[in-house]
Amino acid sequence: MDKLHEECGVFGIFDMTRDDVAQTAYYGLVSLQHRGQESCGIAVNKDRDIYHYKDLGLVNDVFNNKILDSLQGNMAVGHVRYGTTGGKGRENAQPLVLRYLKGNLAIVHNGNLRNTDELKTEYERTGAIYQTTSDTEIVAYTIARQRAQSKSIEEAIERSMSILKGAYSLIVMSPQKLIAAKDPWGFRPLCMGKLNDGYVFASESCAFDAIGAEYIRELEPGEIVIADKNGIREIKAACGREKEKLCIFEYIYFSRPDSKIGGQLVYESRKLAGRILAKEHPVEADIVFGVPDSGVASGMGYSVESGIPYEDGFVKSRYIGRTFIKPNQIDREIGVRMKLNPLKTNIEGKRVVMVDDSIVRGTTCAIIVKLLRKAGAKEVHVRISSPPFLWPCYFGTDIPSRDALIANKLSLEEIRKFIDADSLGYLSIENLNAIVPNSDRTFCNACFTGDYAI
């Protein structure tokens, strides 16, 4: 599928009253699985020693009761990964666990640094040897170096924030503390919650719902939150250092619709995007539907605003994972058909509006339109709940280089012809921020505008 991927999801838990936190981390990671499907891992802290298990594969496949029972401790960090920088091999799976001057450290990271090469060369000159090709090791190395000159691990993280440039939502586990930190631009989400006597951190609040934790709030850009035996405290020295650049595409596609980001439910943003689309690109049609899963809420919003009835257009197979699809047209078609089967009874003889979240290369969209026509659609009107992708992303997603993006090569009319739609309309860049109403947040939209914060 010509779909985008988030690079990672992170989870952390601190609870001095329990030693089975790995179980909770496991459930948290299962609910963050959409953020990365290539590898996963959990590290626990037991009496200052760190034990961990990680491997390639989905959370459900990598972990079983025996492994989880062997991971006893009262704090844990967990990670799901989709690799865009560094290789996809086992060596890049996280948590990254290291032993240094002050003991053990485990780190999980979501995002991409922009000054990896620079830092890597600088550290190599002073003798650094790397075990991985991921920029998380650069983050860990920076924190470890700063720790040698700091009174505490949190001070080392605070110092590192002046050195690391880019997107990083981190959870660090030291011998006595669990520390969550977000870069001063706040590209990727990271929130905190309360679970019984302990504290939890996660990329998305859907992980809290799964484990029965209470959502407290999103971390501020540049904020560090420390959980230890004395409770919880914050360091806000780097807050406000940069203008916030929360990824707007988290609302459109990456995050789960039942997650709250910056206090706003993602589902509501998607529905709003659909309503705006209906106003910007109205059309006469018989039914409207969203492409599962991320297009569904926007399809409903389009229906509410336009008055066109919402009907399911596809049945999605829930049991297809990341199928390897050979890069030729026939196999691609089979790949799409295996995931999405048109509901002929709803489509035949109808003028349909199909709402999807984005078009990357256009190949999948063209196949979906073809499937609808084969199912008997009289007209197919495509509506996209984001503006056209014109630029790559350097902040933790795999939006590809400019020459792979169809909107960069073809005009709107040429794209319409390429996907064989009767009409095509994108959400306008002017109305993009309106999908997060009543918010004082400011957003990154660089993949649509080329306006990069770093």
CB of 252 to ligand SF4, least distance (A): 9
Rounded to whole angstroms, the Cα distance separating 91 from 333 reads 33
Which tokens hold the place of 278?
Answer: 């209906």
CB of 32 to ligand SF4, least distance (A): 17
Residues that bind ligand SF4 (CB under 6 A): 187, 247-249, 393, 395, 397, 399, 444-447
CB of 393 to ligand SF4, least distance (A): 3
**Pick 116 or 174: Cβ nearer ligand SF4:** 116
Catalytic site residue 8? Answer: yes
Cβ pair 35, 110 in contact under 8 A: yes
Cβ pair 308, 355 in contact under 8 A: no
**Pick 199 or 254: Cβ nearer ligand SF4:** 254
**Pick 75 or 384: Cβ nearer ligand SF4:** 384
Rounded to whole angstroms, the Cα distance separating 412 from 383 reads 12
What lies within 8 Å, CB to CB, of 121 at 6+ separation is none
Cβ pair 271, 252 in contact under 8 A: no
**Pick 172 or 447: Cβ nearer ligand SF4:** 447
CB of 326 to ligand SF4, least distance (A): 27
**Cβ atoms within 10 Å, residue 410:** 15
DSSP string, 23-71: HHHHHHHHHTGGG--SEEEEEEEETTEEEEEEEES-HHHH--HHHHHH-
CB of 368 to ligand SF4, least distance (A): 22
Which 3 state secondary structure label does DSSP give 302? helix
Rounded to whole angstroms, the Cα distance separating 248 from 245 reads 8
Rounded to whole angstroms, the Cα distance separating 306 from 171 reads 44
Q: Which of 8, 40, 444, 447 is catalytic?
A: 8
**Pick 187 or 310: Cβ nearer ligand SF4:** 187
Rounded to whole angstroms, the Cα distance separating 299 from 292 reads 10
CB of 189 to ligand SF4, least distance (A): 11
Place of tokens 């589902």: 267
**Pick 39 or 445: Cβ nearer ligand SF4:** 445
DSSP state of 73: B
Rounded to whole angstroms, the Cα distance separating 161 from 303 reads 45
Catalytic residues: 8
